[in-house]
Amino acid sequence: MGEYCFVIGEESEIEGYVEDIAEKLGEDHVEIYDPEKEKSFKEFSRDFNTVVGLGDIKDEYGNDLKRMAGEKLVITEQEISNVPSLDYEEEIVDTIYEKISKVDEVYKANELMEKVDDYDTLGVVLHDSPDPDAISSGLALQYLAEEKDTEVNIMYSGSINHQENKALINRLDLDLRKVEVEKTEKDGSTVYNTITEEGDISLNEFDGVAMLDTTFTNSKIMSAYPEQEVDIVIDHHEGWENVEERLRGFKDIRTDRGAVASIMADYFKTLDIEPDEKVATSMAHGILTDTLDFDPNSRDFSTRDIENLSYLYEFIDRSSLEDIRKTTISLSTADILARAINNREKKGTNIYSYLGEVEDTDAIPQATDYLKKLEGVTTSITYGLVDDRIRLSARNSDIKLNIGKELERVFENGRSYGDFSCSAGGSSRKGGATIPLEAMGMIGEAIKDGSDLDQYESAIQSTIETMLNKIGSS
């Protein structure tokens, strides 16, 4: 489904600003209805989340807009009963953009709560080895769901080894369910079992399934359910266009936000629900970590992220937040950092490092951050073998390069290794990729069959770095 559909009638005071408004909303997300070229307005607008009516449209489209108002967000310049209206003001572009965004946020927040109210139980899936943004967003949704008496289970696979993530969970006494995914071959097909400490678990046990700050390929849990449809998706990353058929309900993707926790804060503000100390503290930490503490050299955050952090500071436990953010690194992380330094290869202002087998997944982005601080480096990339996948992390300060889009182009859209499930993306400042061993051809098959990894390490480095050398070449 598209984002914004504009229909324009006569005598609109706003029509001349539509191109500027579309640019602010994102030109790829806006389409203008042309009655001479398109099918009927009713059919055309069916594919959009938001419909904006400008000028005198009451007679021709008024009844259609009234009916749509019960199913999607509708805003009009002309007053129509039960439909929010736009007012002409001097700062027209910013005013209308803010009006559409504000009404859109109210609509989204209410839609989320209506969706949550449909379920007695909700399974919330985070990405493997979740970071503070994912963890705090799961906690925030759990808190909101309590308003509707919906029981929420927050689940993840992988491990939580990053010292700050451990401190977050321990200091705030958070309850997350670790799910182990076992894969076996039976009668020529792959069979998955998902297990917790309490025993077997299945997504089918829940009335609804939500995904926060993750995609299908970044979660082993979701990999175990290749046909699972999802009821709620909240994220700030791109890359959902190709999986629309698996999204059957609520979707809120805001790529302008630095953290999903910031989107969650919008819900609290819009719904006038105050987060408790635990939730607010974890969300504040989530926003700070995902925006790199609002690094002024970073473009990966918006003014709304800053406003939402300020809002959360009214409710946080400052002592707990300070303790969480002062934690020291573990010995296993120090070992990965040492590998990153020893294995580094510098090519111009780019630096790459292969980390070998990695148990502490959280150490990979930490190693990337560490290499990025070296003199003369604008782009740092580290990668290592985690179970049956190559995990790659990137940081970038070259203003001519959007590292997230480049990783997506090289590893995902390029399909350079054939037909396999690869995930890649991010933003201009940071990005990542998950490459299944199947992508490595015979190398991957040998490693999965238990062959000694050492004899294939140079081949892994050569294969991945051949792809990395394509970054920035388009």
Q: CATH code at 215?
A: 3.90.1640.10
Same domain (yes/no): 275, 321: yes
Q: Is 91 inside a domain boundary?
A: no
pTM for the whole thing? Answer: 0.65
C-alpha 387/C-alpha 21 separation (Å) is: 46
Same domain (yes/no): 137, 174: yes
Residue with tokens 């503070």: 132
Looking at residue 104, its amino acid is: D
User: Which of these three, 65, 86, 107, is where a domain ends?
Assistant: 86
User: Which of these three, 272, 305, 325, is where a domain ends?
Assistant: 325
Would you write out the chain's pLDDT as a tens digit for each of its 474 residues?
Answer: 567 888 887 777 667 777 777 777 777 778 888 776 667 877 888 778 788 887 777 666 777 777 777 677 777 777 766 666 665 444 456 666 666 677 778 888 999 999 999 999 999 999 998 999 999 999 999 999 999 999 999 999 988 888 888 889 998 999 999 999 888 877 777 778 888 888 888 998 999 999 999 888 888 899 888 888 899 999 998 777 777 778 888 999 888 888 999 999 999 999 999 999 999 999 999 998 888 777 665 556 788 888 899 899 899 999 999 888 876 677 778 788 888 988 999 988 999 999 988 888 888 998 998 899 888 899 999 999 888 788 999 999 888 888 988 998 888 764 444 445 678 888 888 889 888 877 766 666 666 665 666 777 788 888 888 888 888 776
Q: Is 375 inside a domain boundary?
A: yes
Determine phi and psi for 198, rounding to 5 degrees: -85, -10
Same domain (yes/no): 273, 124: yes
Q: Is 396 inside a domain boundary?
A: yes
Same domain (yes/no): 382, 258: no
Structurally, how many domains does the chain consist of? 3
Same domain (yes/no): 76, 143: no
Q: What is the CATH number of the domain that holds 36?
A: 3.40.50
Residue 269 near residue 280 (C-beta atoms within 8 A) = no
Q: What is the CATH number of the domain that holds 430?
A: 3.10.310.40
The helix/strand/coil state of 314 is: coil
Residue 427 near residue 393 (C-beta atoms within 8 A) = no
Same domain (yes/no): 319, 365: no
* Beta strands per DSSP E along 127-205: 151-156, 177-178, 180-186, 189-196, 199-200
Q: Is 107 inside a domain boundary?
A: no
Domain range for 170 is 117-325
User: Which of these three, 296, 325, 354, is where a domain ends?
Assistant: 325
Q: Is 156 inside a domain boundary?
A: yes
